[in-house]
């Protein structure tokens, strides 16, 4: 397991026999998706963290797009978080993370797809807009309503039923970060989970202690620190 993010003039660490090579970045929510699937499956992997501001030349050689997450499996370079999650679920079937019914599986995929709006609203609020504004915060809160409704209609603890499935893991990285709005704005904006989103509030408390989620969990303060430095144009990875 790597600890530091490798940058421009680094050398790629030797691969570990019998292990997947996983290219990641500690604060990337898309990479976290793949990490959660690897954790849920217990798939042996060795992680190489990539500094996305000063990309290693060796990484750009094998992957000109220079993005994370990516995996090497059986000598093949594989990328794209949702596609990787599907691949891992098929290659390492236990425990299955998709529902076995094709109809429920596509309905679950469409929940993940529609969740994209929450991610977009979140990044607009804290990263791409000049400053954190009430109107963007309200948009973000509004984007969570269909997700709360979905969970309420399912009538289960997790989107996957009595335990997390692919939906829970694919949307989790953004929920971990939603709580960072509080420290990021010094308490000026706080998502009213308990008041407005009681199902998601309960779900969030259970997800944090899930065996796939807990080992990779970062506190709201840690995420806020990363966002603050990134917003200032000085992204810090090894914090």
DSSP one-letter code for 158: B
Burial of 49 from C-beta contacts in 10 A (0-12 / 13-18 / 19+): buried
Using rule CB under 8 A, residue 138 touches a second copy: no
Minimum CB distance to a second copy smaller for 114 or for 185: 114
Q: Which stretch binds a second copy (CB under 8 A): 16-24, 105-113, 126-134, 156-164?
A: 105-113
Catalytic status, residue 28? yes
Partner residues linked to 22 by β-bridges: 47, 71
Rounded to whole angstroms, the Cα distance separating 175 from 205 reads: 11
Using rule CB under 8 A, residue 148 touches a second copy: no
How does DSSP assign 90-137, residue by residue? Answer: HHS-SS--S-SSHHHHHHHHHHHHHHHHHHHHHHIIIIISSS--HHHH
Rounded to whole angstroms, the Cα distance separating 61 from 75 reads: 15
CB of 10 to a second copy, least distance (A): 26
Pick the binder of a second copy from 84, 118, 125, 212 (CB under 8 A): 84
Rounded to whole angstroms, the Cα distance separating 214 from 212 reads: 6
**Residue written as tokens 């984007």?**
143
Count residues binding a second copy (CB under 8 A): 20
Query: Which candidate in 6, 20, 28, 200 is catalytic?
Result: 28
Using rule CB under 8 A, residue 80 touches a second copy: yes
Q: Which stretch binds a second copy (CB under 8 A): 41-49, 100-108, 214-222, 231-239?
A: 100-108
Using rule CB under 8 A, residue 102 touches a second copy: yes
Rounded to whole angstroms, the Cα distance separating 143 from 75 reads: 40
CB of 37 to a second copy, least distance (A): 13
Using rule CB under 8 A, residue 73 touches a second copy: yes
Pick the binder of a second copy from 2, 52, 72, 78 (CB under 8 A): 78
Rounded to whole angstroms, the Cα distance separating 48 from 19 reads: 12
Using rule CB under 8 A, residue 110 touches a second copy: yes
- Catalytic residue positions? 28
């Amino acid at each position: 397991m790597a600890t530091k993010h490798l940058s421009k003039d680094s050398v790629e660490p030797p691969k570990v026999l019998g292990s997947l090579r996983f290219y990641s970045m500690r604060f990337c929510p898309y990479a976290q998706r793949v990490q959660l699937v690897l954790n849920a499956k217990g798939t042996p992997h060795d992680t190489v963290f990539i500094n996305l501001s000063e990309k290693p030349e060796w990484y750009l050689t094998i992957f000109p797009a220079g993005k994370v997450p990516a995996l090497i499996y059986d000598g093949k370079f594989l990328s794209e978080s949702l596609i990787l999650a599907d691949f891992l679920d098929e290659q390492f079937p236990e425990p299955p993370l998709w529902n076995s019914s094709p109809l429920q599986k596509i309905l679950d995929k469409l929940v993940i797809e529609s969740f994209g709006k929450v991610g977009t609203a979140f990044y607009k609020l804290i990263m791409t807009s000049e400053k954190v504004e009430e109107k963007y915060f309200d948009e973000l809160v509004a984007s969570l309503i269909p997700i709360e409704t979905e969970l309420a209609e399912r009538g289960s603890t997790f989107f996957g039923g009595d335990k997390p499935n692919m939906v829970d893991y694919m949307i989790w990285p953004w929920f971990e970060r939603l709580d960072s709005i509080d420290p990021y704005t010094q308490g000026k904006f706080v998502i009213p989970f308990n008041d407005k989103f009681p199902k998601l509030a309960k779900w969030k408390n259970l997800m944090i202690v899930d065996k796939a989620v807990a080992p990779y969990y970062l506190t709201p303060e840690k995420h806020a620190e990363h966002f603050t430095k990134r917003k200032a144009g000085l992204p810090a990875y090894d914090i």
